[in-house]
Chain A
Amino acid sequence: MSVALLETQPLGLSPDLGPYRRADYEALPDEPRCELIYGRLHLSPSPTPLHQYVVLRLWRLFDDIAKAQGGRALAAPMDVYLADHSVVQPDVLYFVPERRHRIGKTIEGAPDLLIEVLSPSTARRDRGDKSRLYAEAGVREYWIVEPRDQQIEFFVHRDEHFTLEYPDGDVYTSPLLPGVRLDLQALWREVEEQLA
């Protein structure tokens, strides 16, 4: 099968569903790595060291939270089946104990929290189509991390939309997910030290 892989994100949001479905995605070879978003295949670029360090640091945070709470934290590349037209590999995913069962042989349905760490080539996708997709799929919290600006946006799902939440000083505490707490100052200091 010859498929169309999108290297760059189109300027606007996807107006309708593309031609591909879950079965097409599963029939693809492992490389090049890509995601199925609203029926279109999007290439995932190889990450930079900064990107991966931030992903792993945040995964460690969520792994600790998961251990304390009884939830589960995973990191990319993990396929998450959100719909027949959308299979994504978010950078970090977290399930609360009550939804841990969504992790089986595959992951079916929305994780409670997703993190995307931006890279220049995927930022438009992360803020556009993926943000819309995650809101529609019922992801309860979505963090967009801009590692170069050392900036995180915390989007919380309310009434079918994402609302922006702010940290209280240095610390962000999730209004929805018990035990989810991030010390921003500590995170960025550690990132700077590690990559200095």
Chain B
Amino acid sequence: MSVALLETPPLVPPAGLGPYRRDDYEALPDEPRCELIFGRFQVSPSPTPLHQFLIIALSQELHRIAMAHGGLALTAPTDVVFADHSVVQPDILYFSRDQGFLHGGTLETPPDLLVEILSPSTGRRDRSEKLNLYAEFGVREYWIVDPQLRQVEILVNRAGQFVVQMPDGAIYHSAVLPEIRIDLEAFWTLVEARLA
């Protein structure tokens, strides 16, 4: 099968669904790594060391919380099936309740919290098409991490739309996922110390 792989996200999200579905996605070879978003294949670029370091550092925080509260934190490349037209690999996924996910099968429930670490080539995708997808399919919180700015944009889902949530000083305490309490300033201070 010859398929169209989008390397750069379009300037504006295209109207309507693209031609591809979950079956097509599953029939693809593993490389190049890509995601199926609203029926279109989008190539995932190879990440930078800083990008990967942030995934590991932040997922550890979430893993710690998950272990204490019966949840589950995972990292990319794990397939999450949102719909027949959308199978994505978010950088970090968090479920507040582990529903036996580790016993096999695929992830077909929207995670409670998703994190995407921006790379220059995916910024537009993370902030538009993926954001639309996550809002529509009920992801309760979406964090967009900007490695250059050392900033986390926190978006909370209210009735299918994301609302900007500001941390209270250094600490972010989620209202919808009360077990999540994270000192973002300490997190970035640690990251900066490693980069110094």
Contacts and interface: CB of A to CB of B under 8 A. Distances in A.
B75 interface: no
B131 interface: yes
Interface string A146-182: 1011110101001001111111011000000000000
B165 to A, nearest CB: 7
- Of the listed residues B149, B150, B167, B192, the one surrounded by the most CB atoms of chain A closer than 10 A to its CB is B149
Given A127-B149, A162-B163, A151 B127 contact: yes
Given A12-B167, A124-B150, A163 B162 contact: yes
The prevalent SS among residues of B at the interface is mixed
Nearest to B170: A12
Size range of the interface on B? 35 or more
Interface in A77-113: none
A127 B11 contact: no
Nearest to B191: A11
Interface residues of A, number: 32
A163 B158 contact: yes
A13 B167 contact: yes
B164 A131 contact: yes
Given A11-B185, A184-B11, A132 B124 contact: no
B49 interface: no
A49 interface: no
Interface string B83-96: 00000000000000
B151 A124 contact: yes
B196 to A, nearest CB: 13
- Of the listed residues B12, B151, B155, B192, the one surrounded by the most CB atoms of chain A closer than 10 A to its CB is B12
Interface string B144-185: 001011110101001001111111011000000000000011
A131 B166 CA distance: 9
Interface of A: 11-13, 15, 120, 123-124, 127-128, 131-132, 135, 146, 148-151, 153, 155, 158, 161-167, 169-170, 184-185, 188
5 contacts: A13-B167, A15-B170, A149-B120, A164-B163, A169-B13
The 7 closest A-B pairs by CB, nearest first: A12-B185, A162-B164, A149-B123, A15-B169, A124-B149, A164-B162, A11-B188
